[in-house]
Amino acid sequence: MSGTQIGFLMFAVMMGLLVIRIPIGIAMFTVGAGGYFFLSGCELQPLMATLKNLAYARLSNYDLVVIPLFLLMGQFATHGGLSNALFRCVSAFMGHRKGGIAMAAIGACAGFGAICGSSLATAATMGQVALPELRRYGYSGSLATGCLAAGGTLGIMIPPRCRWSSTPSSPRSPSASCSWPRSCRASSPCSAI
């Protein structure tokens, strides 16, 4: 059996586990461990050695510690009232135009995304703030949620962003060889190569 066939079989088994409502993490781990066990010649020792080292290696990457800190900063901004003030500020500039509240929601998402650096945190936070306002002004549910979903994706595009923290740390990334400061490498010309 070729590697591609084994991969398709593992995918089918995982989908079968998901259909019978096994949690995603457990289904993925079970299929991955079973596939590794099968491909290593049905020996348990290589699988155990990999599991022993892999968890620590993934969690001890100090370049990724900034991601939860970005999310924490977003929570501080939310609970401090910054997200409400940001929405009111952008709404004051754009709210009087046709579709202005929707534009204000996207502008507030851009501003909050620049603060926290995470698309998920931006969409969740601005959804709590702007969605009631959009509904109050009579926007349809699909337009309101669409604006917030589109605006939420701005969080990963506007610096500082979570992606900057992991791109230069990858040894095979072209930006790792640049001589620019670490915080500027992701947007450098070398990363476009």
Give the per-residue pLDDT at 92: 86
Q: In terms of domains, do 135 and 91 share one? A: yes
In a domain, 166, yes or no: no
Q: In terms of domains, do 42 and 78 share one? A: no
Q: In terms of domains, do 41 and 90 share one? A: no
pLDDT tens for each residue of 78-106: 788 877 787 788 888 887 888 888 888 88
In a domain, 75, yes or no: yes
Q: From residue 55, how far is each of 33, 47, 52, 61, 101 by CA, in Å?
A: 14, 12, 7, 11, 45
Q: Is the pLDDT of residue 166 over 80?
A: no
Q: In terms of domains, do 34 and 71 share one? A: no
Confidence of residue 184 (pLDDT cuts 50, 70, 90): very low
Q: In terms of domains, do 28 and 93 share one? A: no
Q: In terms of domains, do 16 and 89 share one? A: no
Q: In terms of domains, do 56 and 75 share one? A: no
pLDDT tens for each residue of 19-64: 999 999 999 999 988 888 888 888 888 888 888 888 777 777 766 6
What average pLDDT does the structure give for the chain?
77
Q: Is the pLDDT of residue 170 over 80?
A: no
pTM: 0.50
Say which residue the tokens 């949620």 belong to: 145
Report which secondary-structure segment, H or E, holds 89: helix 82-94
Range of the domain at 39: 3-60
Count of structural domains within the chain: 2
What type of residue sits at position 1?
M
- Residue 118 near residue 76, CB atoms below 8 Å: no
Q: Is the pLDDT of residue 12 over 60?
A: yes
Give the per-residue pLDDT at 165: 52
In a domain, 140, yes or no: yes
The string of DSSP codes covering 54-80 is: HHHHHHT-GGGTHHHHHHHHHHHHHHT
